[in-house]
Every structure is written in structure tokens, then in C-alpha cells.
Amino acid sequence: MGNLQQLIDDVHGELRERLGEGKIADYIPQLAKISPNKFGISLATTDGKIYNVGDSSETFSIQSISKLFTLTLALGKVGDGLWSRVGREPSGTRFNSIVQLEHEMGRPRNPFVNAGAIAVTDVILGEYQPKEAIAEIVRFVQYLANDSSIIIDKNVANSEIEHGDRNFALAHFMRSFGVIKHSVDEVLGVYFHQCALAMSCEQLAKSGLFLAASGKNPINGYNVVSSLRAKRINSLMLTSGHYNGSGDFAFRVGLPAKSGVGGGILAVVPKTASIAVFSPGLDNNGNSLIGTIALEIIAQRAGWSVFG
């Protein structure tokens, strides 16, 4: 596989002078405070090695990357029954768009736009109290990353609730169609907490490694999902993991990946590696600008792509 440490060191060094490009998420004060100069990369391989550079051990708000973990958890609970609640088509709209929901009877396009992720969280809530559902999500992510130190940033979660009007609108709208069964306050309480999980690139790369290894976590040997399910989750990341920037990301990087407005991206190189990048400056679609360029260069130089 060549010298992967050298590869990420080079990319980190080359892009450092461009930090500050893009716009930091400012819809809640907690995210707006982050320094634009943070930049980390972690690369975990299916043979159990991990390579890090820059701010790779610094935790940040994973935001929508959590949608990948809650999707995996919900599929484990209800299997393919999940698809009666949420679709599998790219949205071509912004992550928090409401416009399609009215045309499509409140059924969100996919599990990675906000509406879809809120519907998935409603499924996880099931018979639980919100606190229990939050605890289950945290435990699941700790299990995936093999790291019990992962926690939720309570300040971020509370701030999301205070500034969550758009998500409340999405949830109420879906509830009016029966797509959401619990109260909007309960579902969003859980959703905002999952978005506020604080993780480092290293923890993220480890937690996504099962998707590169046919569903089995090579670090601890746990079978997380079947290889068919891992493939399908990867397909959804490729088609919808970057909202209305998903086509451009597939064109430039050619790997399944999920982004978050905290500036993180978790990418999967099937049968080979998972890569987490963190750089808080965002492009117009709310995806990490330098993080995307870093992944583009890494994929090109390593010859990684799901398209051959």
C-alpha cells in the first residue's frame, strides 16, 4: 500500500497554508468558536494499522456523521423495515431542506438528510425513554471505535435545541404525516444529542473501519453488520453522504463518505481503509472544503476509488 504515513503527512503539509478557506458553521455559537486552522487526518487500514497527522486526536462535533451510526443501529433493530419510513434516493437539496417533504407525503428521501435522520432516530427511540436512546447511541459508537471515552458535548446539544427551529419544523411536518411516532421534543432531544457527539479523527476512522472490512471490525473482531449491509450503507454514503454535493464528491473523490457541519468527513475505501479528516471551513453545501480536497488528493495518489 505504499507509505501511508508519508502520504497523509504530505497532503497535510501541502494544504496547511489554505486553512481558513471556507466558512465555519455558525448556526450555533459553540461551533462558531472553533479555530479555522484545525486540521487533522487519520487513516485506519483493515490490517489494523492507524496513521495520524495534525489535529487528529482533537475531538470535534461530529454532527451529521452521527447519521451513519444511527442508520447502522436502526437497521440492526428493525432491518429492512426501516425503508418504509425513509427512502434511498439522493435528495439534490440542502441538508435541512423541507421542500421535498410536502411533495412526498412526509417521507424523507434518504437517511442522511436531516429529515431522514430524524425519522431514523424516531425508530431508535422505539420503546425507550429519550435518555436511554441517547445512552444506547453513545454505547454503540464507543463499541464501534473500541473506545469508551467517547462522550456527548452537552453545551453543543443544548445550543442545538435552542437554535433548532428548522429541525422542529421538519419533525412537526413529518409527524403530521405519521412518519414520526414520538413527540417532536423527544425525537429531537435524541437527535440533537447524537449530533453533539465529540470525537477525534482517530476515533472516527476506527469507528468506520467495519464498513471497509465487509462489516467486521478488524480491531476487535466484532461482527457489526453483514457484508451485504456494509455494502448497502456504503452505497447510501456514496449517493447521499454529502447532500446536494454528493455527485461532486463522488466525481472528485470516488469513495463513499459522510460529512458533518462540524468539519469532519469519514470516508471508506472498501477492503482497504477508513479515513477521517477534520477541517472546519465549509463549502457552500456545508461540507468541509479542505477536508474534501485532502480526500481527493489522498484517493488519487493511493489509487483508491470504488470506480476502478
Q: Which residues are catalytic?
A: 64, 67, 191, 243, 261
Residue 167 in contact with ligand GLN, rule: CB under 6 A: yes
Residue 91 in contact with ligand GLN, rule: CB under 6 A: no
The least CB distance from residue 17 to ligand GLN, in Å, is: 26
Q: Out of 160, 186, 202, 283, which residue is the one contacting ligand GLN (CB under 6 A)? A: 160
The least CB distance from residue 115 to ligand GLN, in Å, is: 10
Question: What phi and psi, each to the nearest 5 degrees, are found at residue 58?
Answer: -85, 130
The two beta strands, 264-269 and 257-259, are antiparallel
Phi-psi map region of 105: left, alpha, beta (phi>0 left; psi -120 to 50 alpha): left
The least CB distance from residue 240 to ligand GLN, in Å, is: 12
Residue 90 in contact with ligand GLN, rule: CB under 6 A: no
Q: Out of 42, 46, 63, 246, which residue is the one contacting ligand GLN (CB under 6 A)? A: 63
* Comparison of 96 and 146: residue with beta carbon closer to ligand GLN: 96
C-alpha 117/C-alpha 126 separation (Å) is 15
Neighbours of 276 (CB within 10 A): 30
Map grid coordinates 409527524 to a residue: 175
* Comparison of 4 and 198: residue with beta carbon closer to ligand GLN: 198
Q: Out of 5, 96, 272, 285, which residue is the one contacting ligand GLN (CB under 6 A)? A: 96
Residue 158 in contact with ligand GLN, rule: CB under 6 A: no
C-alpha 91/C-alpha 100 separation (Å) is 8
Residue 280 in contact with ligand GLN, rule: CB under 6 A: no
Residue 121 in contact with ligand GLN, rule: CB under 6 A: no
Q: Out of 11, 150, 179, 195, which residue is the one contacting ligand GLN (CB under 6 A)? A: 195
* Comparison of 97 and 217: residue with beta carbon closer to ligand GLN: 97
C-alpha 99/C-alpha 211 separation (Å) is 32
**Closest residue to ligand GLN: CB criterion:** 64
The least CB distance from residue 95 to ligand GLN, in Å, is: 4
Residue 34 in contact with ligand GLN, rule: CB under 6 A: no
Residue 64 in contact with ligand GLN, rule: CB under 6 A: yes
The least CB distance from residue 307 to ligand GLN, in Å, is: 25
Residue 261 in contact with ligand GLN, rule: CB under 6 A: yes
The least CB distance from residue 208 to ligand GLN, in Å, is: 16
Q: Out of 54, 106, 286, 291, which residue is the one contacting ligand GLN (CB under 6 A)? A: 286
Q: Which of 49, 41, 43 lies closest to 219, judged by CA?
A: 49
Residues 6+ apart with CB under 8 A from 87: 104, 107, 108, 109, 110, 116
The CB-based long-range contact list for 216-219 (8 Å cut-off, 24+ gap) reads 217/144, 217/146, 218/46, 218/47, 218/48, 219/44, 219/48, 219/146
In residues, how long is the chain? Answer: 308
CA distances in angstroms from 292 to 41, 227, 233, listed in the order given: 11, 27, 20
Neighbours of 35 (CB within 10 A): 11
Q: Out of 260, 270, 280, 281, which residue is the one contacting ligand GLN (CB under 6 A)? A: 260
Footprint on this chain of ligand GLN (rule: CB under 6 A): 63-64, 95-96, 114, 160, 167, 195, 260-261, 286
